[in-house]
Chain A
Amino acid sequence: DADVTQTPRNRITKTGKRIMLECSQTKGHDRMYWYRQDPGLGLRLIYYSFDVKDINKGEISDGYSVSRQAQAKFSLSLESAIPNQTALYFCATSESPYSRGTEQPQHFGDGTRLSIL
């Protein structure tokens, strides 16, 4: 089983619909992230969470919201989807740097391909 699981893997929906993307992890990491990837723009950070009670906006949080339901679960919502939110969305996790004294690598799920018509 994958350490970082994203559901759904693919989703096609219409403008104005509310969508939730879910991410769960079995790695026991405190830190979780949501990114979107667009051709020519690379990976951009939407939101991140360093623990269950900590939620932070990334560089492109407008139009998105998140919920950290538990250490292992971090969901991303599009309240009213619009076509320019069509992208590949990734969830990632990382261990806190405090346990080892240095920043640790991020571990990614396989992504959700979201198309908004």
Chain B
Amino acid sequence: DGGITQSPKYLFRKEGQNVTLSCEQNLNHDAMYWYRQDPGQGLRLIYYSQIVNDFQKGDIAEGYSVSREKKESFPLTVTSAQKNPTAFYLCASSRRQGGDSYEQYFGPGTRLTVT
């Protein structure tokens, strides 16, 4: 079955450590996205990528980094520079972006807790 996988579902880290969240899709989608969700805040865009080896900052990119070396994969690194990293992280993909509007398919999310 086609879809988006995120791992792990729950992640615990100590303050000051970098952590990488995995996101893989087998939908053959060009565009991929990372969102952060906090209670009562909706979904806020961290980074997005429309093609391999290219990505753009979203609205809250500070303290995060990404790579897009393969079409299927879009890992997110939460660095120690992110001041409040505890949140629910959602990865999504769509056929493409820019000029047209396609629905986004979301992965199950990773709940990150940093203490």
Q: Do A and B assemble together? A: no
| B interface residue numbers (CB < 8 A to A) | none
Chain A residues with CB under 8 Å of chain B are: none
